[in-house]
Amino acid sequence: MAVFCFAVVITEGLHPQLAQSIRDTTPTKHWSAFEIPIVFDLANGDLCYFQGTPLWGAAYYAGFRKEIENNLR
């Protein structure tokens, strides 16, 4: 059994450095769980989340990104 958590923050005027940090920072590794922080900026429609694929999540991350885009864009 695994748990998937997409923690979403909706804001206006996200600072560009924070947006880049969210895109570049590998989410915390958990045993049998995945947690991906996501920020949606209402001011420009920008959706920020980790853009890479960690080795420990390689089998899942393409699907995670697809779910994020399909449900939040």
**Tens digit of each residue's pLDDT (9 = 90 or more) over 18-50:** 999 999 998 877 777 788 899 999 999 999 999
Q: In the predicted model, is pLDDT for residue 56 greater than 80?
A: no
Using DSSP's 3-state secondary structure scheme, residue 40 falls into strand
Closest CA to 21 of 42, 56, 48: 48
The mean predicted confidence, pLDDT, of the chain is 87
pLDDT the model gives residue 62:
87
Structure tokens of 64?
């995670």
Q: In the predicted model, is pLDDT for residue 10 greater than 80?
A: yes
The mean per-residue pLDDT over the stretch 42-62 comes to 85
C-alpha 11/C-alpha 43 separation (Å) is 8
